[in-house]
Amino acid sequence: MTPANAEWLPAAIAGLVALSLVVAVLATAWPRQAHRVGLLGALAITAWVLGLSALFLNAGPDPEAAATRVALGGWEAPLGLMLHLDGLSMTLLVLTAVVGLATSLYSLGYVHDRIERRQFWPLWLWLWAGLNMLFLSGDAFNLYITLEVVSLSAVALVAFTGTAAAVSGAVRYLLVNILGSLSFLMGVVLLFGEHGVLDLLLLETRTEAGPTERMAAVLMTAGLMLKAALFPLHVWLAPAHGSAPAPVSAVLSGLVVTGSFYLILRLWMGVFAPLATPAFGILVGMLGVAALVWGSLQALRAGRLKSIVAYSTVAQFGYLLIAFPLMLVDPGAWRVVVFFAVVHALAKASVFLAAGTLQHAAGHDRLADLGDVLRARPRTVFALGLAGVSLMGLPFTGGFIAKYLLLEAGLGTVLAGSVIGVLWVLAIAGGGLLAAAYILRMVAPAFHRGHEDAGEAVSPWMDWVPLGLATVAALAGLSGTLTLNTLALTPGAP
């Protein structure tokens, strides 16, 4: 690491946490101007993250040199709280900034009621601050605290419109989150009782394949699967997404569930790595195949646009579960998993924002009655289709690169002599066909003959932001090398 980076990078990491918290506090303390504080804060946080990424990438190709740990208050682990930045957390911070900025711009047009602004913006900024702290946390208990900040903010955002459907979906989401949080916390307590430390790097050097570690792994993984809505623990997803405002649905699908999956990946690559066995990988992979099939079938049956998109999240996250057995054969495949998660988050956030624009214009999201509005709004339909093309994995999109790399890893397991690897390859390839079916179902009414009715007027932000984010998702393949190289700057990872 160059002397300049060595001096500025720790300060930039701590500064990002401080900036995120200050923006959230200002929006909470000054609710009348929360939307202005939120917009300026979104621009400032995004600029800070991009500057931090430039400092990080200039550290050089050595993962040990690039990764940085910051002791809050000057207290080193195990007594103090540590912030930890490496290639994996840096990638997720950039993703959060891109989706966060897009959501903030979209919300300027979507959340226009004065009272709703006072409620939405502080909650959204606390959620964003929680995500930034989550990706930078270096100890298990701080992960629990940041998870709670994210979860409680997300629950409140689902319910903030006050409708019966929103409150019902939020209550279900809250109950699931409480169960997931308690499960995660019990795992943290077991690890602390066994090893006397909470710092993730210290835990990684002390954990073995013992009964305490196994129980902690089960509890923490199950809790995170609940929060990430991974099959079969996804019961809260469709009601919460279907009733939540569009920007909230975009954040839930694009960032919140991705944050929980990030923790699963981080823990199983580090603290719980000694517990990973071929049998475990096959079990998780089978859950992924089931998620792909079940989520896709539910998306094909759903009658509401947002429900189709919500169930597609269940299906698409099946790819991430299928990747676990691939990682046991090719440990370096974890970078492909993260790249796929990034592309999915960008595309799915765009789809939810586009669906929100159509719902706002039509006053509903019943697919059978959306034809007139779809035909009258070609820009929004194009955004929906472009993001959908990336989810399908068609050539020249970020989704194609991600699924191609997954398929290549699956073929690697077959060549390595794994018979079950054939199932992973078929699931990855077949999942794309199922995705094409429900994506085409969403946009097909736009190509039927009939009247055009643009419905209620919408803000230009609600037209252009989904299209811009869909373009970013489609072009994400051009940044594949940069993303994979950034992920390589993760110490200890294969």
73 φψ region: left (φ > 0), alpha (ψ -120 to 50), beta (else):
left
Residue 493 confidence (pLDDT) = 64
- What pLDDT score does 55 carry? 87
Do residues 379 and 455 lie in contact, with contact meaning Cβ atoms separated by under 8 Å?
A: no
Residue type, 89: S
Report residue 1's pLDDT band, with 50, 70 and 90 as the boundaries.
Answer: very low
Mean local confidence (pLDDT), 99-112: 90
Nearest to 100 by CA among 80, 78, 127, 120: 127
What is the pLDDT, as a whole number, of residue 123? 92
- CA 419, distance to chain mean position in Å, is 32
Task: Give the separation between CA 132 and CA 157, rounded to whole angstroms.
Answer: 18
Amino acid at 151: S
State how far the Cα of 163 lies from the Cα of 149, in Å rounded to an integer.
Answer: 23
**Mean pLDDT of all residues in 34-59:** 90
Is 69's pLDDT higher than 60?
yes
What phi and psi values does residue 271 have, to the nearest 5 degrees? Answer: -60, -45
Mean per-residue pLDDT for 68-89?
77
Given pLDDT bands bounded at 50, 70 and 90, which one contains residue 74? low
Cα 248–347–315 angle (5° rounding)? 85
Among 58-67, 185-194, 237-246, 249-258, the range scoring the smallest mean pLDDT is 58-67
Q: How far is CA 81 from the centre of its chain?
A: 25
pLDDT confidence of residue 3: 45
* Displacement of CA 442 from its chain's centroid (Å): 22
Rounded alpha-carbon distances, angstroms, from residue 229 to 54, 93, 312, 481: 33, 21, 12, 29
Count of CA atoms in the C-beta half-sphere (13 A) of 249: 34
Counting every residue written for the chain, the total comes to 494
- Residue 4 confidence (pLDDT) above 60: no
- Mean pLDDT score, 446-456: 74
SS3 track for 305-325: HHHHHHHHHHHHHHHHHHHHH
Is 236 in a helix, a strand, or coil? Answer: coil
Q: Give the Cα separation of 87 and 483 in Å (integer).
A: 9
Nearest to 82 by CA among 256, 204, 258, 180: 204
The torsion of the CA quartet 176, 180, 185, 186, rounded to 10 degrees, works out to 100
- Tokens standing for 88? 């994996």
Q: DSSP string covering 12-34, please?
A: HHHHHHHHHHHHHHHHHH-GGGH
- For residue 70, the 8-state DSSP code is E
The alpha carbon dihedral of 249, 144, 82, 264 has a sign of negative
Answer yes or no: is pLDDT of 186 > 90: yes
User: Burial letters for 87-101: b for 16+ Cβ neighbours within 10 Å, e otherwise?
Assistant: bbbbbbbbbbbbbbb
Between the alpha carbon of residue 82 and those of residues 76, 205, 272, the distances in Å are: 7, 16, 20
Burial 382-418 (b: 16+ CB within 10 A, else e): bbbbbbbbbbbbbeebbbbbbbbbbbebbbbbbeeeb
How confident is the model over 120-148, as pLDDT tens digits? 899 999 999 999 999 998 888 889 999 99
The per-residue pLDDT for 18 is 92
Hey, where are the domains in the chain?
Answer: 279-494
Contacts of 394 (CB under 8 A, 6+ apart): 400
Q: Is the separation of the CB atoms in 58 and 485 below 8 Å? A: no
Classify residue 224 by burial, with Cβ atoms within 10 Å: 0-12, 13-18, 19+: buried
Mean pLDDT of the chain: 84
What is the three-class DSSP state of 139? strand
pTM: 0.90
pLDDT at 454: 65
Tokens 């270096």 locate to 138
Round to whole Å and give the CA distance between 346 and 423.
28
